[in-house]
Structure 1
Amino acid sequence: MSMSGGGGRGTRVSGGDIAAQKERNREAPVIANLGGRIAALFRPYRAALAVIIGLVLITAALGILPPLLTQRVFDDGLFPKAGGPNLPVLGWLVGAMILVFVLSSGIGIWQTFLTARVGNRVMGDLRVKLFAHLQAMELGFFTRTKTGVIQSRLQNDVGGVANVLTNTVSNIVGNTVTVIAAAVAMVLLSWQLTIIALILLPVLVFAQRRVGQVRARIAGRTQESLSEMSAITQEALSVSGVLLAKTYSRQGAETERYAAENRTQIELQVKQTMSGQVFFAVVQVFLSAVPAIVYLVSGWIMARAQGTGYDPGITAGTIVAFTTVQSRLLFPLMALMRIALDLQTSKALFARIFEYLDLRPAIVDAPDAAEPSDEPGLAGRVEFTDVTFRYPDVGLDDRPTLDRVSFHVEPGEFVAFVGASGSGKTTIGNLVPRLYDASSGTVSYAGTDVRDLKQESLMDRIGVVTQEPYLFHASIAANLRYGRPDATQEELETAARLANIHDTIESFADGYDTVVGERGYRLSGGEKQRIAIARVLLKNPNVLVLDEATSALDTVNERAVQRALDDARSGRTTIAIAHRLSTVVDADRIYVVGAGRILEQGTHAELLALGGSYAELYAQQQ
């Protein structure tokens, strides 16, 4: 099976040369049907959206009533054609205006609550969907992509579209309805004044589109810079990164690396803030000038009508009502322009999010994937048949990491793979639990090709202990229960005893509640390794893969861990990838790997007697 399936798009978003990376991502990725996919995020909340839209329509309709009531207040209440003010009519009109304001405020509060809840749930769904999708990606994707870049997509990009998700729907509907209703009311009040008020709008809409395109480009570059800052933070401020910087006196260089990217971020933020400011300044001048122009035009129309017998229908109440309605039109119109700009800007962020969601894992379950067999005599059997493997980013003309490797391990056997660094030993260990797929040939478990088995079920039957075990910044008990959350305290202690770590844990002041620190840095290497072994034993797998589990330890810790491993191997298939030959001398079979091929195989005694590569390695270590 080719490994190219997960490498193509994953490589495009990975780390690497920073300058080239930024240049590649200067433009947002093109995502088909982006608007439809954004709209689909709201589909689970259709009922709530319907209520929100209904409330928006009611609020918009109520918002048009006060200007119309204002006209009646002036023309029928304060300045009727005959006599002085009509107090009864004035009282009813003022009461109606107050009632409209109260209703609008109450409905607005309800609308804001529903909008905030729906928007934040949609954003939460998107963040979880992205996280779950990334969890499903193959291991190779994470070896090619900086952790900080991935974190930035989850935090900065999703957070960057928060305002669009929480407010856009209600704002678009509300402002659109308000604009339409206001325009109708303006025409009813005076069609002549309406033409004056709206004559420049097409020009403003065209300018808005141009500004939006510029802001979208800047937004994409801004998010890429944020991704790089997250990557630098994750690398430099992790325990390992800080330790490395201190031991090489590179704190100043790391600070300058962060400061340089920070300067880029500041420049981009300023550009993003300033882009469109001239446009909105022009719009603001237009909005401010239109009422004054309306007054001037109204006076001109009324002056021309005097003595002609023609009644233009423009009264003091009409002018006051018109300018009030006009504000109800122009300010929502300006809000719609801002929303349009936000949407254009957010397209770059949505495109980055959907770009990750569109990545397809290279390793997935087959449609008819089966459960691994637990039949005695089969469970725990591992076999490689003519397995060739190349990592995805290696050209086809390059030497494969593994070249037609074949071997088998029977249930309960202990086999070891030894050889020089880079010979392909760790790759063999990665292919067993299907962290990668073979480029050709077959890797099988319990007599079935691993590509025909359910990944989760396969992983349940395989335990892996690496050279550098990963411990979470949590208690020892929480770390042990990672593979079995329902494990009892008694089961924890049993696994810890088998791993020769129980007494050490009990010697700590907080016992199993001791917090191990970031990546377990509060523990020694041997303690971390034995906790990792206990964690695997608690999982109780059929196959145990030990990837140089003792090579980084001192002699005392190595002996303690080796005793734990000897106990862990009991009753289960064990595949050990070893650098120190002393740890595998009692293996049932030892495979010597070189240049991606199996050069020799046999027991320790047989290989020594053969006098080949193994004997030479053993003599060097002795």
Structure 2
Amino acid sequence: MADKTVSADSGSTLKTLVNLWPYMWPSDRPDLKARVVWATFYLFVAKFILVGVPYFFKWATNALAGDNAPLPPLPDFLLGPVMLVIAYNVVRLVQLGFNQLRDALFARVGQHAVRQLAYKTFVHMHNLSLRFHLERRTGGLSRIIERGTKGIETIVRFTILNSLPTILEFALTAVIFAIAYGWLYVLVVAVTVAIYTWFTVWASDWRIGIRREMNDSDTDANTKAIDSLLNFETVKYFNNERMEAQRFDRSMQRYEVAATKTWTSLGWLNFGQGAIFGAGMAIVMWMSALEVMAGTQTIGDFVFINAMLMQLSVPLNFIGFIYREIRQGLTDIEQMFALLDVKQEVVDQPQARPLAVSHGAVEFRDVHFSYDPARPILKGVSFEVPAGKTIAIVGPSGAGKSTISRLLFRFYDIQSGSVLIDGQDIRDVTQESLRAAIGMVPQDTVLFNDTIAYNIRYGRTDASDEEVKKAAELAQIGAFIDRLPDGYKAMVGERGLKLSGGEKQRVAIARTILKAPPILMLDEATSALDTHTEQEIQAALDLVSRGRTTIVIAHRLSTVIGADEIIVLKDGRIAERGTHLALLRKEGLYASMWARQREASEAEERLRIARESDDLGIVTRRRTAEV
């Protein structure tokens, strides 16, 4: 699947919010629904208290100025200037408490949504086909989950906990101004807020392009730095430290220019916001000052209007930041939902039943398959692996050998024909039961960055420590593990890089032994190893495959000479089949492959002997010279 760029401008914002709603209002969690209701209630309470705070400032000012303005309906002991000032601060503190209570109640709801959506996306990615994962970057997928979960928090925080309260506060301010001071005040404030919001959105959109340029430069510099450090030895081999430093500095130079533009544009944004709001406030305060001088307003009214506007300016200052964060949050969530919309290529049939393995016989019956319709891979392949027997599949590169293993695991569905286990079409059984019946020792063993015990136990997660140790001993790696300082608790490193190729293969064999499957698949399990290690690994593999139905995909023909039958693939078809000796007597494709590998092996052996002879001659001459 090609990467799909999704943005908040794509017209799917409403769809994203609709998709997000079930996670914010979970039907199966009445306790979380109650939290949403109470958080909303406290939100309204906090805003009503907030717009009432300036009244105490007004009353305290009038009391201090000695104006004969109407007093609030409060007990006499609270009407003194000092008590009104104290009440002003107490009310502010109460309003802050309700805000924090609202945030605390909503935190559980937001984090539940994050967890549920992240879990659903993670499970969905594991259910997608191998084709999808081969065409996508794993790092990109993890970033989609990471950004999507952060996007949920952003939407909750800025849409529900910031934007909606700001709108409510403006509405309450407009009502108070309309009732107490007339619609002209409301009109001036509304026009100011409208121009302020328009300018903020326009400037934020302009800054997004600059910010994207800065982020791209930062990513480029970071990529070059990591790539250079990962290839540290190569840099040293070719003495290219200066070149790498110059490449990094060029990227940082672009970042410097873009970052400077970002901060400069932020300065213009802040200045523009201040100028617009300052102009609107100046007009309103001028109107109020005229009325104070005319005797229609008190000093307390003048202070009240100023306090209300200053109070309103606080959330307005965050409009640009909120707009940018909400927009980015919607983009990130849309990408996550777009990932969830990707359909599974391989799905269980509605009537799928668990695989019932009685003997473990495998059959490919006239199988046709292609990854791309324009390039067929298997063209009518048919063969049978009797229960407990070993079948080897060999052939030139690109003949379709590894495709056989992928189809048996049902990573892909075939176009025609059928793959059967004990007479059951694998498309009619559940994928979980199918894969539980097959063990795999791959060519390239990738281990988890955890302990050796964890990687062996991965074959059967409920295995005991004794079972893990027994599997390791059968795989001929037990003695090696015992010699390690941390034993089975030793970490294997990223992708198992702390272990050699042979050690990693033995771990793979051990976890397959622990799984104890009735069917075994060996996909070129020794092709990347040296001859000595290959022989040791082959002995362990022979032990594992004993009594099991085994399919061996091999590059080195010397590893399959004992197979019950050898199938030679060429261009997606079976070119030859038979035992090792029978195929050699045919003098066909298998015989020619065998001859070439024998010649290569003999050449390597002659080269090894020559080197040993040279080494021996050097030592002999050196000792003669010493004598």
Equivalent position to 2:384, from 398, 404, 408 = 408
Alpha-carbon offset, residue 137 of structure 1: 1.9
Q: Which residue of 1 aligns with 2:283?
A: 293
Q: Secondary structure at the match of 1:591?
A: strand
Structural mapping, 1:17-416, within 5 Å: 31=12, 33-44=15-26, 45-75=32-62, 78-81=65-68, 89-90=79-80, 93-156=84-147, 158-159=149-150, 162-191=153-182, 192-211=184-203, 213-214=205-206, 278-301=268-291, 313-336=296-319, 338-374=321-357, 376-377=358-359, 380-391=360-371, 394=372, 396-398=373-375, 400-416=376-392
CA distance in 1, matches of 2:403, 2:204: 49
Matched to 2:18, the amino acid is G
Equivalent position to 2:506, from 523, 530, 550 = 530
CA distance in 2, matches of 1:567, 1:74: 93
Q: Which residue of 2 aligns with 1:619?
A: 595
Matched to 2:54, the amino acid is P
Superposed CA offset, 1:302-330 (max 9, x none): 66x5xxxxx7x322111111111122334
Matched to 1:186, the amino acid is F
Q: Secondary structure at the match of 2:355?
A: coil
Superposed CA offset, 1:252-297 (max 9, x none): 7777777776666676666666667544432222223434333322
CA distance in 1, matches of 2:427, 2:298: 82
CA distance in 2, matches of 1:325, 1:146: 52
CA distance in 2, matches of 1:293, 1:149: 52
Matched to 1:37, the amino acid is N
CA distance in 1, matches of 2:342, 2:144: 13
Q: Is the 8 A contact 1:156 1:226 kept in 2?
A: no
Matched, 1:558 2:534: yes
Q: Is the 8 A contact 1:157 1:350 kept in 2?
A: yes
Matched to 1:297, the amino acid is M
| Distance change (3 Å), C-alpha of 1:118 and 1:215 | farther
Q: Secondary structure at the match of 1:148?
A: helix
Equivalent position to 1:579, from 555, 564, 583 = 555
Name which of structure 1's ranges 276-285 and 573-582 shifts more when overlaid on structure 2: 276-285
Q: Which residue of 1 aligns with 2:445?
A: 469
CA distance in 2, matches of 1:386, 1:322: 85
Q: TM-score, normalised by structure 1?
A: 0.84
CA distance in 1, matches of 2:55, 2:457: 68
Q: TM-score, normalised by structure 2?
A: 0.84
Number of residue pairs matched by the alignment:
586
CA distance in 2, matches of 1:153, 1:226: 19
CA distance in 2, matches of 1:49, 1:205: 28
Q: Is the 8 A contact 1:178 1:328 kept in 2?
A: no
What is the CA RMSD across the aligned residues, in angstroms? Answer: 3.4
Matched to 1:43, the amino acid is W
Q: Is the 8 A contact 1:219 1:345 kept in 2?
A: no
| Distance change (3 Å), C-alpha of 1:127 and 1:68 | same
Matched to 1:40, the amino acid is P
CA distance in 2, matches of 1:175, 1:273: 26
Alpha-carbon offset, residue 478 of structure 1: 1.0
Q: Is the 8 A contact 2:519 2:550 kept in 1?
A: yes
Matched to 2:40, the amino acid is I
CA distance in 1, matches of 2:571, 2:446: 29
Structure 2, unaligned stretches of length 5 or more?
27-31, 71-75, 599-627
Matched, 1:503 2:451: no
Q: Secondary structure at the match of 2:473?
A: helix
Structural mapping, 1:533-552, within 5 Å: 533-552=509-528
CA distance in 2, matches of 1:350, 1:390: 34
Matched to 1:292, the amino acid is A
Superposed CA offset, 1:179-217 (max 9, x none): 222222222331143333333333333334444555666
CA distance in 2, matches of 1:314, 1:233: 66
CA distance in 2, matches of 1:604, 1:163: 65
CA distance in 2, matches of 1:158, 1:330: 30
Q: Is the 8 A contact 1:148 1:230 kept in 2?
A: no
Q: Which residue of 2 aligns with 1:570?
A: 546
Q: Is the 8 A contact 2:520 2:549 kept in 1?
A: yes
Name which of structure 1's ranges 183-192 and 567-576 shifts more when overlaid on structure 2: 183-192
Alpha-carbon offset, residue 461 of structure 1: 0.8
Matched to 1:184, the amino acid is V
Name which of structure 1's ranges 567-576 and 62-71 shifts more when overlaid on structure 2: 62-71
Q: Is the 8 A contact 2:47 2:169 kept in 1?
A: yes
More RCO (CA 8 Å, sep 6+): 1
| Distance change (3 Å), C-alpha of 1:406 and 1:297 | same
Matched to 2:33, the amino acid is R
Structure 1, unaligned stretches of length 5 or more?
1-9, 14-23, 306-310
Alpha-carbon offset, residue 583 of structure 1: 0.9
CA distance in 2, matches of 1:29, 1:575: 50
Q: Secondary structure at the match of 1:401?
A: strand
Equivalent position to 1:594, from 570, 574, 584 = 570
Superposed CA offset, 1:479-530 (max 9, x none): 1011222211211122122212222222323322222222222222212111
Q: Secondary structure at the match of 2:79?
A: helix
| Distance change (3 Å), C-alpha of 1:199 and 1:617 | closer
Q: Is the 8 A contact 2:353 2:428 kept in 1?
A: yes
Matched, 1:431 2:382: no
| Distance change (3 Å), C-alpha of 1:217 and 1:99 | same
Q: Which residue of 2 aligns with 1:7?
A: none
Q: Is the 8 A contact 2:569 2:576 kept in 1?
A: yes
Superposed CA offset, 1:343-369 (max 9, x none): 223332222222222222322222222
CA distance in 2, matches of 1:270, 1:41: 40
